[in-house]
């Protein structure tokens, strides 16, 4: 049986590493690219071919040559940053890769989107793929992921199936985004909580998200042209999550209520201040 050959972008991130592992276990031949070359050895150790690539200016035709399916996980993922940077990495690079893949005869394109496209300043429970999106995106990341998803899904065709996966709040091995930020707060011995910590959060194991991406390609004929939400399916209150982390660390975490008005005022001040600092670091 001929191996199905996959290209994975963003392969050196937490989701990318989990995806490459899942693909190898499923019998795929994997070509991987990513910005963190320190992870290249891990990818080659699992049997993947690591290549350096520039998704904005590089030879994407060469990157996509002899590939059956592209998994596009590369992105600028941050709540903070210049709109132009998000536009170039999240939209322009996606458009470039999509065009190259189609031109090289790739038959399947699986895009990693984000549930941040639903984000609004209100509670939203039980969202589905058909739930309406807000008229205005919460930030540049959400706006550009939504634009890129629309471009990908519009390209779906019988000979070029495109699918968008929206994985919710990823945690697990190699997480460098969500859990480290929470742990940084927990490590102080206290944690600020809005609304008495009753806000619901829903986490997703990165390995489950990786498997969902593999399944999207396997079921590409049915999934083509669709966006699919992926989550752990077990919402919990924020105070419950903090308590569980405290137990895992073997320490008691003091929960300190934070008024919403104070949180908004502090956030606004921080954004204004950090926007004028050299390099505009994340608040």
Which stretch of DSSP H or E encloses residue 204? Answer: strand 204-205
- 190-193 and 236-237 beta bridge pairing: unpaired
- Of 71, 118, 141, 191, the active-site residue reads 141
**Residue 82, helix vs strand vs coil:** coil
Place of tokens 């008691």: 252
If you write DSSP's letter for every residue of 163-199 in order, what string do you get? EEEEE-SEESTT--SHHHHHHHHHTTTEEEEGGGGT-
Decide if 141 is catalytic: yes
> Measured between alpha carbons, how far is residue 44 from residues 27, 57, 58, 154, 163 in Å?
15, 25, 22, 34, 27
CA 143 centroid distance within chain: 14
Catalytic residues: 141
């Amino acid at each position: 049986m001929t191996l199905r050959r996959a290209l994975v972008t963003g392969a050196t991130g937490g989701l990318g590493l989990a995806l490459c592992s899942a693909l190898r276990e499923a019998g795929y031949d994997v070509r991987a690219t990513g910005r963190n070359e320190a992870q290249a050895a891990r990818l080659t150790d699992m049997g993947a071919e690591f290549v350096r690539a520039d998704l904005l200016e590089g030879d994407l035709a060469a990157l996509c040559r002899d590939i059956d399916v592209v998994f596009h996980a590369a992105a600028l993922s941050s709540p903070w940053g210049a709109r132009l940077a998000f536009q170039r990495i999240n939209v322009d690079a996606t458009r470039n890769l999509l065009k190259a893949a189609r031109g090289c005869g790739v038959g399947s394109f699986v895009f990693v989107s984000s549930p941040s496209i639903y984000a609004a300043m209100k509670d939203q429970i039980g969202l589905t793929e058909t739930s309406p999106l807000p008229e205005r995106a919460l930030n540049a990341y959400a706006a550009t992921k939504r634009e890129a998803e629309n471009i990908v899904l519009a390209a779906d065709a019988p000979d070029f199936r495109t699918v968008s996966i929206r994985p919710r709040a990823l945690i697990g091995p190699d997480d460098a985004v969500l859990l480290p930020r929470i742990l940084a707060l927990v490590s102080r011995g206290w944690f600020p909580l809005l609304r008495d910590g009753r806000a619901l959060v829903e986490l997703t194991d990165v390995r489950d998200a990786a498997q969902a991406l593999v399944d999207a390609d396997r079921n590409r004929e049915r999934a083509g042209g669709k966006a699919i939400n992926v989550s752990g399916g077990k919402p919990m209150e924020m105070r419950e999550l903090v308590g569980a982390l405290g137990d895992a660390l073997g320490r008691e975490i003091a929960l300190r209520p934070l008024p919403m008005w104070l949180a908004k005022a502090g956030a606004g001040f921080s954004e204004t201040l950090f926007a004028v600092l050299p390099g505009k670091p994340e608040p």
